[in-house]
Amino acid sequence: MLLDIQNLTLGLPGAARPLLAEVSLRVGAGETVGLVGESGSGKSTTAKTVLRLLPEAASVTGRVLVDGTDVLALDGAGLRAHRAGTVAMVHQDPRSALNPVRRVGDFLVERLTSTGTTDRRTARAKAVELLGAVGLSEPERRFGQRPHELSGGMLQRVVIAGALAAEPRLLLADESTSALDVTTQAEILALLRSLREQRDLGMLFITHDLHLAAAFCDRVYVMYAGRVVEQQEADRLFTHARHPYTRGLLACSPELEDIDRALEPIPGRPPSLSDTFTGCPFATRCPHAEPECGTWIPEPVPLPGGGTAACRRLADLPEGPVEQPVLAKRSPA
C-alpha cells in the first residue's frame, strides 16, 4: 500500500475536540482516492499530515505510512527527503503557491535541484520539458515569466509541473481545481488524470464537491468533524450511499437531470472546533438520530457491497439512490 493512514488522531491544545479522530485511509499505487467534506471537516489536515505539516503544538497518535515508512517519526533530513521526493502536493490557489517575485522557471529549477538534479543546465532543460508536459504552450517563454503574467489555469499547470519535478509516487491534490473557473477546471482534471495514468501515480484528491469526487476517483472517503463517516467505491457511493451525512450531501447538491428536485439543505450548521461531541458528531443534524446516537462513539461498520459507514443505525437506513422527495415538485412561480 502506497499510503496507509492508521487511526490518526490529532489534537490541538485550544480546541474542544480533536481535529482528526481515528482517521484511517489507504491509497494504492495508481489509485485515485477522493476525500470529501465541508470546510473544517479535517480533509486538508489529513493531507498535511502526510507531509508532516502539523500545527506546532499538535499532539498526534496513530500512524501515517508512506511506502511502509512512518512519516510521523521522520525528522530533519529524512523528512526533507520525504517531502521533496516521495510525496508532492498541489495546492488550492496556484497564485499564492508561487513566490510572486521569482520567475516560473526558478520555481521549477529549485524543486529539481532539491531532488538531485545538481547541474543547473540540466535542471533548466528538465524544467522546460516539464512545462511542456503539463500542456503549457511556449514552455521556453513561460520559463522566464513571472506568476503575475500567467492566468490561474496556467499557474496551476506550473504548480503541477513543480509537483512532478520530484517524480513523486503520491500526489496530494488539495482542492486543486476549486479556485479555477469551470472550463479550466476540466482541463486541469484531464491533465491530472492523464499524468496519473502515464506515471502510475497514487492520488489523494481532496474536494468539497461529492459529485466531482465520485466522477473522478476510484474510491471516495467522506469526512465529517474530523472523522471518516463513509468509504466506498466511487460509483457505488453515488447509487448506494449509506451514511445519513453522505446522503444529506447528495440531497443538497443540484444536478442537471433533476432540476425539479427540491434541494434539501442539511439542517443545523457544520461543526466548529469549539463543539464537543459525546457520541456521533452528526447526531444533532441527523434525521435518523436516536438518543443512543449521542453516546455511541462512531466506528466503521463494513458494508455488504464493500466499504464502510460509521453509523449505528445502518440496518434501519434507506438504501439505493437518494430519493426524490414527494413534495419536491416546485410549483411554477
Contact segment (CB under 8 A) with another protein among 95-103, 245-253, 255-263, 299-307 equals 95-103
Q: What angle do CA 270, 306, 194 make, to 5 degrees?
A: 80
DSSP 8-state assignment for residue 8 = E
Q: Among the candidate windows 19-27, 45-53, 205-213, 318-326, which touches another protein by CB under 8 A?
A: 45-53
**Beta carbon nearer to another protein, 109 or 189:** 109
Q: What is the DSSP letter of 102?
A: S
Binding mask 156-175 for another protein (x = CB under 8 A): ------x---x---------
Distance CA 28, CA 3 (A): 7
The answer to whether 171 and 7 have CB atoms below 8 angstroms apart is: no
Residue 101 or 327: the one with the smaller Cβ distance to another protein is 101
Among 73, 102, 263, 323, binds another protein (CB under 8 A): 102
List 12, 79, 301, 328, residue binding another protein (CB under 8 A): 79
By CB under 8 A, is residue 227 in contact with another protein?
Answer: no
Candidate residues 120, 141, 148, 269; the one interacting with another protein per rule CB under 8 A: 148
**Does residue 131 interact with another protein by CB under 8 A?**
no
Sign of the C-alpha dihedral computed for residues 78, 9, 43 and 150 taken in this order: negative
CB 126 within 8 A of CB 112: yes
| Contact assessment for residue 70 and residue 63, using Cβ atoms and an 8 Å cutoff | yes
CA proximity to 307, closest of 251, 244, 241: 241
What is the maximum alpha-carbon separation in the chain? 69
Q: Closest distance between another protein and the C-beta of residue 261, in Å?
A: 38
User: Judged by CB under 8 A, does residue 42 bind another protein?
Assistant: no
Beta-ladder partners of 173? 90, 205
Amino acid, res. 129: E
Under a CB-based contact definition with an 8 Å cutoff, are residues 136 and 158 in contact? yes
Residue type, 17: R
Stretch that binds another protein, among 4-12, 21-29, 80-88, 215-223 (CB under 8 A): 80-88
Q: Which of 89, 241, 266, 289 binds another protein (CB under 8 A)?
A: 89
To the nearest whole angstrom, how small is the minimum distance from the Cβ of residue 62 to another protein? 20
Which is closer to another protein, CB of 88 or CB of 322? 88
Check if the beta carbon of residue 70 is closer than 8 Å to that of residue 64: yes
Q: Is 53 a residue that touches another protein (CB under 8 A)?
A: yes
- Interface residues with another protein (CB under 8 A) are 48, 51, 53, 79-85, 88-89, 91, 93, 96-102, 106, 110-111, 114-115, 146, 148-149, 162, 166
